[in-house]
Structure 1
Amino acid sequence: MTSSPKRTLARRFGVLLGAAGLAAPLTVALGAGSAQAATSACTAGTGPYQAKAERFLGRTADGKQSAADCRAIRDFQRDHGISPAIGYAGAVTWGVMDLVTQQRAAGSNPNAAGKCPTNKGRIACVDLTRQLSWVQDGKKLKFGPVPIRSGRDGYETRTGLKKVYWRSIDHWSTIYKVSMPYSQFFDGGQAFHSIDGNVWSAPGSHGCVNMRRGDAKTYWSLLKNGDDVYVYGRKPGT
């Protein structure tokens, strides 16, 4: 969620709550020096999702942490913005792995279940459950699916049929003091836009649909004011 044009009404803001699973940031209290060390260190601990993480990474799924297992898990954590990246197979790490598995399975037919309308012509679909978005025209896939990051617990991206009503290519949020390139607003202060950070990182946005820069740029070229947006499902942990 961000600042919006004059007609946008003020939206309610809930108290930020820690949420289990993917929605909860996995953090520890560290000083600046020790934080850097923690991201490069590897833990000998065996996490509760060790075997599942090993299987996901194509390693021997014996459920026992080894130095090689730790490095592989740590590399995944670094690539997906999970902190601390110390190779521990906890709930957040497995939640992201499970999400990536679902995203890969979507392949070139993300609307196989028919949940996004196919009678609207050009429409941007947002599946909160799988944290995926794509653009389709009728039943024809035009772009995607691509990974997204939707609203965190207390700031959920609102579901339902909406329309793009305002576009701002170099938008600046006066509420959160951050740049929001390629913003396309579809529901109050909620918009598609790119972020500098990782779209897989917890806990999520303040309601907007965060995208990688290249994906947001393509959405900008494909959509226009008046195009439909359909948001459905529920983000894990909200």
Structure 2
Amino acid sequence: MRWMTAPAVAVFVLLPLGAVPAPAAAPAPAAGPRCTTGTAPYQRELERELRLPVDGRQSAADCVAIRRLQRRLGVRPADGSASLRTYRMLLVDLARRDPAARRACPARPYRVTCVDLTRQILWTQVGRRLVFGPVPVRSGRDGLETRRGWQRIYWKNRDHHSTLYDVPMPYAQFFNGGQALHGTRRDLFLSGSGGCVNMTVPDAGRLYALLGTGDRLYIWGTKPGTAGGG
């Protein structure tokens, strides 16, 4: 007897009129890298500001919360470490968003550039209205502290070069002897200056364009790790 092979038959599933087949499930997103950095110098400060349990010890939850903050603030690397850079940028952000964080600087009907040595931040205001910043700064190190109190810009030099320290001082705005607001390419979060108030070069350029000779500064507080301003 000869066996016959049955022909293949296509099977169609009829859907109700207007029905759309369900799409295939999307693959689950890959999990991000684990947050594993350990305890860092500004652990307690960041725990307090982020309303985490304040114990000074890095936990997995601390690491994730700090890394999320770093990503929001644009801090690199965003590794979850409670670093000085992260803490200072958080202070900048808080001062930008909360008017109460700027109350220590006197309100005047004219421009006042406010330099908070304790938090190492600077901004310019008219009355209580922000017109520049806040931005991070680096003030004078121990023994060469930035001078405090009311100051006035008396000379500006866009391309100044320090003969004392042999370093460029772009967008320099002098306010007391050799002390000036100016830009630097050095790390703002390491050590301190020779008495000047350092900013990133882009920030210094924007402030240089805003202020003029005769503009007022108010400087207060104490840079951490120094004996205090003169």
TM-score, structure 2 as length reference? 0.64
Q: How far did residue 117 of structure 1 move?
A: 2.0
> Where does residue 25 of structure 2 map in the other structure?
none
- Structure 2 unaligned regions, length at least 5: 1-35
Conserved 8 A contact 1:108-1:145 = no
Task: Give 3-state SS (helix, strand or coil) of 2:225's partner.
Answer: coil
Conserved 8 A contact 1:80-1:198 = no
Matches of 2:121 and 2:113 in 1, distance apart?
11
> Where does residue 212 of structure 2 map in the other structure?
224
> Where does residue 27 of structure 1 map in the other structure?
none
Identity %: 46
Which structure 2 residues correspond to residues 145-160 of structure 1 after superposition, within 5 A? 145-160=134-149
Q: 1:60 to 1:233 in 2, by over 3 A?
A: closer
TM-score, structure 1 as length reference? 0.62
> Where does residue 178 of structure 2 map in the other structure?
189
Match of 2:167 among 178, 185, 198: 178
Matches of 1:235 and 1:80 in 2, distance apart?
24
What is the number of residues matched between the two proteins?
A: 184
Matches of 1:219 and 1:65 in 2, distance apart?
40
> Where does residue 203 of structure 1 map in the other structure?
191
Q: Does 1:134 align with 2:123?
A: yes
Q: How far did residue 54 of structure 1 move?
A: 8.2
Q: How far did residue 112 of structure 1 move?
A: 4.5
Matches of 2:158 and 2:41 in 1, distance apart?
43
Residue type of the partner of 2:214? Answer: G
Q: How far did residue 145 of structure 1 move?
A: 0.9
Question: Aligned-residue CA RMSD in angstroms?
Answer: 3.8
> Where does residue 21 of structure 1 map in the other structure?
none
Residue type of the partner of 1:143? Answer: F
**CA deviation vs aligned residue, 1:24-63 (integer Å, no higher than 9, x gap):** xxxxxxxxxxxxxxxxxxx997557668778989x99994
Q: How far did residue 227 of structure 1 move?
A: 0.8
